[in-house]
Structure 1
Amino acid sequence: MRKTDQPGMTEMEKHTNIDRISNLPWDVLDTILVHMPLKEAARTSILSSKWRYKWTSVSQFIIDDKCLSSCLSDKVLRWKEIMKIIHQVQSSHSGPIEKFKLAAYCHPIHSDLDQWIQFLTERGIKELILQEFDCVKHFKLPACLFSCPQLSCLELYGCVINLSPSFKGFNSLASLHLSQSSISSGTLEFLIANCPVLERLTLLNVDRSAVLKINNLNLKYLKIDSKFEDICLKNAPLLSSVDIRLKMIPRHPDQGQACNLVRVIGCLYGIKKLILSTHFLEFLAYNDVPERLPAMLDHLFTLDLREVRFDSLKDVRVSFSMLSSAPNLEELIISVSNSSGVLNTVLDFLRAQCLLDIYFNKLKVVKIRGIWGTRTEWEFIKYILAHSPVLEAMTLVKYGGERIPDSMFQQVDRASDHVKITSLTL
């Protein structure tokens, strides 16, 4: 701040002591303060009376563990400290609040959180992020939240989501993240369909939803780690990155229903990156898996398959169908599940694939981790080497025991003369 002019000070010294920061326009000061940790921004209140409440009027508030004393471990007391910050803001804030993020592990009182969210909606909140906190009982979102036309990012944890009758959609919402929350199938479908600019959707451990239906023409990124009886992605033509690790809830399949692989994955024409877990592979294997999908996955560049069971014909058939349907695949990543043994039906299937005239003409990188050293794994490795003419690198990670010796690879036909094979063990 400006020092009192002293007798005998030169004009240059007086000019040097001018408080230029305090005289900056508020939008510039706001930009400076929001880039500081909230605890540090609050400390600016001691600079002068002019700065006492400046931090309470910033447009973004991120309350995380850095705002609280490291010795404060009680979750109830941590919430009381957070409420002190919130009360200061409520009593002094003027202007809009564009972003609020709660990322401090605490035990919030629902009535406090309800009032705070109502305050945020009155201040034109655009990004509301509630991350992991202690929730014995789910927090029921206030109806006012569904009347925020400017909301662009919504991340909720431990919440009950019931749309108000007047809800017409979030016309500005680009990112939706639900974790440990409750929402019915119909409500979730309606919510997704009525976010016309939604690009990113993440669903982690969502309950009360039996069937997931995605109907959104703008969606580009989808991540699911939850339980569903069924999933439908038909109306999402722009999906380019999909990560599905869900475990399907068994149910009696509809008679005459098409193969799940064709019905769910076969419609993802624009997909570029696909990550799937073994439980979902089993779901996709229902009802006559084709050698290739009817429509090719021409844009698929990365295929990442998690916990593949090489003793399961279902897992292997689905994996090969997707591989054969991705002519431009550049990267293949596989993690292997512990095998209970070797099935002759899987070996026969792999040997039959070797006779087919199918090559991966764009495949450059292959990573296989969690190898147990079974015969079916080795047959798959040989198949990839023999059918990948531009392969540059193959990395194999074996769990336990000795790594696969180099001598074994010398006896294998390779379609690529330039492939570098790296064999490791953990």
Structure 2
Amino acid sequence: MKPKRSSKAQRLDIIATLPQPVIETILCLLPIEEAAMTSILSKNWRYKWTTIPILKFSHYSVNISTAESYLCNRWDISDLERERIYEDIMRKRSHAIHQVLLQRQGPIHEFNISMDADDTCFEIDQIILDLSRNHTLKKLTLNFDGSDSYALPLFVFSLRHLTNLYLNTCNINHIPIFNGFGSLTSLSLKCIMISKETFMQLLSKCPKLKSLYLHVFDGDPLGHEYHIIMELFKCLPVIEHLMTSGYFIRLSVQDLVPKELQISLNHLKYCTIEDMCFVDDHGLPFLCVLIKCSPNLGKIKLDLNSISINTNCCYDIKCAKFVEHASVKFEELSAQLEEYSAKLKEHLNVWLERLNEVEIKFFGNFKLELEFVKFILARSPGLTKVILRTYGVNKNEELEMLKILSRVPHISPFEIVVEIMSKRVYVYKL
């Protein structure tokens, strides 16, 4: 006698009998609209989606009509009509998010919203106000795209239990007197409009901050007011992972980098600097001071931006030297190059016992770049790997570079991984 096959409804019941945390984990992996659609499966599934602790909303979370989508992409409609359509779409999206929040039956641990917004988006204000009444929220992501920065409402700072905060394209006008984010360990600020005083007040109220990402555009006001590097590090006593991008170093440091900081970053283990430039007045001094004040640094990752130099000059990649451009004379650039090379010699007493990996992207094998690698090799007894993602460097130049590096005094053997932008990879053990 053949065994009787279970029906589809019975199979659904088997899934429904899984422990609630398992079901929540499964539903959290689905887009929020698909998770909500599970309510039609059966009576057992009607309210299961309302208890998932992670909510993520994006442009695609709410379907807009084909006609509205078509009108938004047309070029021959008036700005007034386009704005009306945009506001209608925002209302529909906000209404859908409100409906989800109203049907919630459990705590919210993570909330993520990624969509268009402008500086006066009252619908999103109301959503954040509803979240501010939830004392269980741990992670908040506000990722906006728009021509104007979204004006962050003050009640965001009432979310005192946050551990992770990500803000993109937001305007923080003023932070009132508040108790701070006592539990915040990770902060990411990308394209944020914020004053120096507000920025420092925010950091000073995050005593447990371990990870900080700062991305500053040239037009952001953060660096136009004051040089903040000294105050910045004083606000990061337990920082472990520091990432900077854009114009942060140039705008906040300029020519006022001291030889030593008044504070040691003893907890810093991982440093990432994007858009790094060796041949300006601040990149190399900042990096040297940071390394000197971080005795427990384990990894350095640099994304070079050597081609865009603020002295109206450019690199001759084939000759690996400066060339004259516009009114800048070659003799002046050569003198500048020697001046920057001397900056490395000011930090000969640096000793990085815990540094084990260095990664440099867009490595061009220029003199200062090569001198920096030699500087690190001679002062890092625990170094095990150097990754050089080269750009504009041919095979002969690579071999010459390896000969130079092999002659640098080093205590322990290490690997040099040379990765060409064309994905060819060479590994050399020295």
TM-score, length basis structure 1:
0.69
Q: Which secondary structure does the structure 2 equivalent of 1:178 belong to?
A: strand
1:293, CA displacement in angstroms?
3.5
Q: Which is further off, 49-58 or 17-26?
A: 17-26
In structure 2, distance between residues paired with 1:107 and 1:33: 27
Q: In the aligned structure 2, how far is the partner of 1:196 from the partner of 1:399?
A: 41
Corresponding residue of 1:295 = 350
Q: What is the SS of the residue equivalent to 2:179?
A: coil
Structure 1 match to 2:121: 110
- The CA distance in 2 between the partners of 1:82 and 1:333, in whole Å, is 45
Confirm or deny that 1:158 pairs with 2:169: yes
Contact 2:386 2:417 in 1 (8 A): no
Say if 2:387 and 2:419, in contact at 8 Å, map to a contact too: no
In the alignment, what sits opposite 2:56? 62
Quick one: which amino acid aligns to residue 165 of structure 1? P
Contact 1:285 1:318 in 2 (8 A): no
Partner of 2:102: 91
Give 1:194 deviation, angstroms: 2.3
Q: Give the drift of 1:395.
A: 4.8
Q: Deviation digits for residues 105-128 of structure 1, max 9, x if unmatched?
A: 445671111110111111222211
Give the Cα–Cα distance (whole angstroms) in 1 for the partners of residues 279 and 221 of structure 2: 15
- Asked whether the equivalents of residues 167 and 190 of structure 2 are also in contact (C-alpha less than 8 Å), the reply is yes
1:195 Cα offset (Å): 1.2
State the alpha-carbon separation in 2 of the partners of residues 58 and 199 from structure 1. Answer: 28
Match of 1:226 among 246, 270, 275: 246
* Counterpart among 179, 185, 207 of residue 190 in structure 2: 179
Q: 2-side partners of 1:225 and 1:293: how far apart?
A: 27
Corresponding residue to 2:372 among 318, 339, 345: 318
How big is each residue's C-alpha offset from its partner over 1:351-396, in whole Å with a ceiling of 9 and x where there is no partner? xxxxxxxxxxxxxxxxxxx423575x54321122345797576554
Shift of 1:91: 3.1
Q: Is the 8 A contact 1:180 1:205 kept in 2?
A: yes
Report which stretch shifted further, 115-124 or 89-98: 89-98
Does the residue aligned with 1:216 lie in a helix, a strand or coil? coil
CA contact (8 A) 2:175 2:198 kept: no
Matched, 1:335 2:386: no
1:38 aligns with 2:70: no
Q: What is the DSSP-based 3-state SS (H/G/I as helix, E as strand, rest coil) of the residue aligned with 2:272? A: strand
Alpha-carbon distance between aligned partners in 1 of 2:348 and 2:178, rounded to the nearest angstrom:
39
Matches within 5 A, 1:158-307: 158-205=169-216, 207-210=220-223, 211-212=228-229, 213-214=232-233, 215-227=235-247, 228-230=251-253, 234-246=263-275, 260-278=286-304, 285=340, 288-290=343-345, 293-307=348-362
State which of 363, 384, 393 in structure 2 corresponds to 1:371: 393
What amino acid is aligned across from residue 401 of structure 2 in structure 1?
F
Amino acid at match of 2:185: A
Following superposition, the deviation at residue 199 of structure 1 comes to 1.5
* Residue of structure 1 in register with 2:130 after alignment: 119
Shift of 1:239: 0.9
* Contact 2:291 2:297 (C-alpha < 8 Å) held by counterparts: no
Give 1:85 shift. 2.3
Q: Higher mean Cα deviation, 164-173 or 24-33?
A: 24-33
| Separation in 1, partners of 2:294, 2:172 | 29
Unpaired runs of 5+ in structure 2? 1-5, 74-85, 311-338
Q: Quickly say closer, same or farther: Cα 1:24–1:326, change in 2 above 3 A.
A: closer
Q: CA RMSD in A?
A: 4.3
- Output the CA distance in 1 between the equivalents of 2:419 and 2:11: 63
1:144 aligns with 2:155: yes
Amino acid in structure 2 at the alignment position of 1:219: I
Give the Cα separation in 2 of the matches to 1:201 and 1:275. 15
Tell me by how many angstroms 1:285 deviates: 3.9
What SS does the aligned partner of 2:401 have? helix
**What SS does the corresponding residue of 1:96 show, helix, strand or coil?**
coil
Identity among equivalent positions (%) equals 26
- For the residues of structure 1 that align with 2:17 and 2:389, how far apart are their CA atoms? 58
Determine if contact 2:288/2:347 at 8 Å carries over to the other structure. Answer: no
Mapped contact 2:187–2:209 kept (Cα < 8 A): yes
CA–CA distance in structure 1, aligned partners of residues 412 and 355 of structure 2: 17
In 1, Cα distance between equivalents of 2:173 and 2:348: 38
1:385 pairs, out of 406, 409, 414, with 406
Which residue number corresponds to residue 7 of structure 1?
A: none
* SS in structure 1 at match of 2:194: coil
Query: How many residue pairs align between the two structures?
Result: 355
Whose helix fraction is larger, Structure 1's or Structure 2's? 2
- Relative to structure 1, the CA distance from residue 32 to residue 325 in structure 2 (aligned partners, 3 Å threshold; closer, same or farther) is same
SS at match of 1:117: helix
Residue type matched to 1:59 in 2?
A: P
How many Å apart are 1:35 and its aligned residue? 3.8
How far has the Cα of 1:65 moved from its partner? 5.7
Matched, 1:130 2:142: yes
| Kept in 2: contact 1:156–1:179 (CA 8 A) | yes
Give 2:405's aligned amino acid: I
Residue identity opposite 1:208 in structure 2: P
- SS of structure 2 residue aligned to 1:303: strand
TM-score (norm 2): 0.68
Alpha-carbon separation, structure 1, partners of 2:46 and 2:286: 61
114-123 or 70-79: which moved more?
Answer: 70-79
Structure 1 residues 373 and 90: CA distance shift in structure 2, 3 A = closer
| Equivalent residues of 2:240, 2:270 under 8 A apart | yes
User: Is the Cα contact below 8 Å between 2:300 and 2:359 reproduced in 1?
Assistant: yes
> 2:387 touches 2:417 (CA, 8 Å); kept in 1?
no
Match of 2:166, SS state, is strand
Whole-angstrom CA distance in 2 between matches of 1:17 and 1:323: 61
AA matched with 1:143: L
